[in-house]
Amino acid sequence: MNILIVGSGGREHALAWKIAQSPEADQIFCAPGNAGIAEVATCVDIAADAIDELVAFAGQNRIDLTVVGPEGPLSAGITDAFEAAGLAVFGPSAAAAEIEASKTYAKGLMEKYGIPTARGRAFSDPEKARKYIRTMEEPIVVKADGLAAGKGVVICSTRKQAQDTVKQMIQDKIFGDAGKTVVIEECLTGEEASFIAFTDGTHIVPLPASQDHKRVYDGDRGSNTGGMGAYSPAPVVDAVMQQKIMDQIMRPAVRAMAAEGRPYKGVLYAGLMIDKDKIRVVEFNCRFGDPETQPLMMRLKSDIVPLLRAVVHGGLDKCRIQIDPRPAVCVVMAAGGYPGSYAKGAGISGLANVRRMKDVAAFHAGTAAKNNEIVTAGGRVLGVTALGDDIVKAISRAYKAVEKISWKNVHFRTDIGAKAKKRLSAAPAVGIIMGSDSDLPVMSAAADLLKRFDIPYELTVASAHRTPERAGEFAETARKRGIRVIIAGAGHAAHLAGAMAAHTTVPIIGVPIDSSALSGFDALLSTVQMPPGVPVATMAVGKPGAKNAAVLAAQILALSDPGLEARMVSYKSAMADEVNAKARSLEG
């Protein structure tokens, strides 16, 4: 296949690097490309937004597939133009790309179809916007409606700052037409994550979760940027949270676009805010994230070309992806002054040294070749990306590579991946173990509630019959790992909870699961009928039992944790308030 990549950043370099590994790729072109992309593809001097020229080039050079990187050409209709010319192209139509190109459209879509997001409204009249701001609690988020290169979102600590930002966007036009309408939202709290998936308009194949670092300085301080680094996987998105994201956000979004007559084909990016057990959409993007693509491509073991082709031509439901279990970390090296004004043309040294490092790639973003030298040509210059056996080793390897590269006034954050390290360092207080991964929809009820109470947990699968050694080891080592309660769920004969209890002094809570013709009654009896001296606290069958298991685990832990005790009191109070509200509603 002859493949054309449209774009010139680190995302496009990562895509070109991955596509070049495919046996299906014959010739690879990139328009316009950069100095790094030129090592794996033929760069063509055509701008990414020169749609007519790109269509002509693709036709003349018998391009079999065009892969569009940036959002600008997608929102301008590059996919529509290629398809009208009979050319295969990966990326959504202009109508579908509006999910990123207009935050007002995206907000309306999410509200109409019940996709969780921040409370807010759109305004074109600055006075009405300022009036609305006066009703809101601080801090307040002000977003330019259109595309602003990832810099059109301002988190305002005061109402005055929010009002000033509205003036700058609507009246002073700092983002041009992109800011003639603004979206004003409540400020969400929690931890951000990026969730990116391939979709053919019906089927969805997700990539692992990742996390971007938007602010320019360590500790998430300073101005927003296009992204100063990323890592994957993001520990904040475990198996339970991934299922929620698919069920509450990704599938509803794809169905919503189809229902609106804008079938979405390409890659859909959901920027998320995760607060304990709650997820809300911060933004949708119509393309691969940058710099999230860099660590994702490092971890993707599957050939990417069949995936791209299946999105365009069909068959995505038959595609499966293989992911390297090792984490990957990308550190963006930027020009000093970015995201404000910065100099170009500084010579970059050390790239050859990095090229010799194992499991490391320096993806070029803003570079150019000049007089046989690689020089800076943009704000974000390189995305130095490394794999490691764990997140600590991946971070270390990435920064060792960064240390080998230099140019005048280089800037980079030194804390990429710190949130992952912190989250992974927290010892689990509860162990959740299931007899099969098919039990996850039930046991997720326990995990969700533990998240709400901010109780760290460990989730795994082991069978009392098929992997008894694994089940026994989990129980025997639980206390050493910090686990103080085990929740065990299983169906059929349901011996898992009892097997756990036989191997540990940690309290065991059993959750019978309905997985047979006996509606879970067999699992209930197997779990509750334990011999003297091997107790299992047995819950009800299914999700209600899993939820109560988490409540009981929290109550056990709260005996020695005053903070958790306070959260439990609030939880019980909220339940009472809910019942009282229903009673008042019925009583009129």
Q: Which residues of 526-546 are buried (b: 16+ CB within 10 A; e: fewer)?
A: bbbebeeeeebbbbebbbebb
| Residue 65 CA: distances (Å) to CA of 25, 26, 383, 524 | 10, 11, 26, 55
Contacts for 277 with CB less than 8 Å, ≥ 6 apart = 448, 449, 451, 452
Tokens of 385: 């990306």
For the beta sheet containing 278-285, the strands, ordered from the edge strand earlier in sequence to the opposite edge, are: 204-206, 191-199, 266-275, 278-285
CA-based nearest residue to 148, from 210, 90, 201, 101 = 101
CA-based nearest residue to 34, from 26, 43, 25 = 43
Tokens of 69: 């990187």
Dihedral of alpha carbons 433, 437, 443, 449, sign:
positive
354 vs 361: CA distance, rounded Å? 7
* Assigned CATH topology for domain 119-187: Dna Ligase; domain 1 (3.30.1490)
Sequence letter at residue 230: A
Give the domain ranges of the chain: 3-97, 119-187, 426-571
Burial, 377: exposed, middle or buried (Cβ in 10 Å; 0-12, 13-18, 19+)?
A: buried
Q: What pLDDT is attached to residue 297?
A: 98
| Residue 67 CA: distances (Å) to CA of 40, 106, 305, 328 | 15, 24, 10, 23
Q: What ranges make up the beta strands (E) of 365-429? A: 367-370, 373-376, 380-387, 410-411
Residue 439 is assigned to a ligand binding site: yes
Under a CB-based contact definition with an 8 Å cutoff, are residues 308 and 267 in contact?
no
Residue 436 is assigned to a ligand binding site: yes
In angstroms, how far is the first alpha carbon of the chain from the final one?
Answer: 69
DSSP per position, 18-53: HHTT-TT-SEEEEEE--TTGGGTSEE----TT-HHH
Top CATH class, 3-97: alpha beta
Q: What pLDDT is attached to residue 37?
A: 98
Tokens of 294: 């860099």
Asked if the domains 3-97 and 426-571 are classified in one and the same CATH topology, the answer is yes
SS3 state of residue 216:
strand
Q: What pLDDT is attached to residue 223?
A: 87
Q: What pLDDT is attached to residue 485?
A: 98
Q: What pLDDT is attached to residue 399?
A: 98
Q: What pLDDT is attached to residue 587?
A: 87
* Assigned CATH topology for domain 426-571: Rossmann fold (3.40.50)
pLDDT in tens, the chain (588 residues): 999 999 999 999 999 999 999 999 999 999 999 999 999 999 999 999 999 999 999 999 999 999 999 999 999 999 999 999 999 999 999 999 999 999 999 999 999 999 999 999 999 999 999 999 999 999 999 999 999 877 789 999 999 999 999 999 999 999 999 999 999 999 999 999 999 999 999 999 999 999 999 999 999 999 889 999 999 999 999 999 999 999 999 999 999 999 999 999 999 999 999 999 999 999 999 999 999 999 999 999 999 999 999 999 999 999 999 999 999 999 999 999 999 999 999 999 999 999 999 999 999 999 999 999 999 999 999 999 999 999 999 999 999 999 999 999 999 999 999 999 999 999 999 999 999 999 999 999 999 999 999 999 999 999 998 999 999 999 999 999 999 999 999 998 888 999 999 999 999 999 999 998 899 999 999 999 999 999 999 999 999 999 999 999 999 999 999 999 999 999 999 999 999 999 998 887
Does pTM top 0.85 for this prediction? yes
Q: What pLDDT is attached to residue 59?
A: 97
SS3 state of residue 460:
strand
Q: What pLDDT is attached to residue 149?
A: 75
SS3 state of residue 130:
helix
Tokens of 142: 């002000």
Overall residue count recorded for the chain in this entry: 588
Q: What pLDDT is attached to residue 436?
A: 93
Under a CB-based contact definition with an 8 Å cutoff, are residues 71 and 286 in contact?
yes
Q: What pLDDT is attached to residue 257?
A: 98
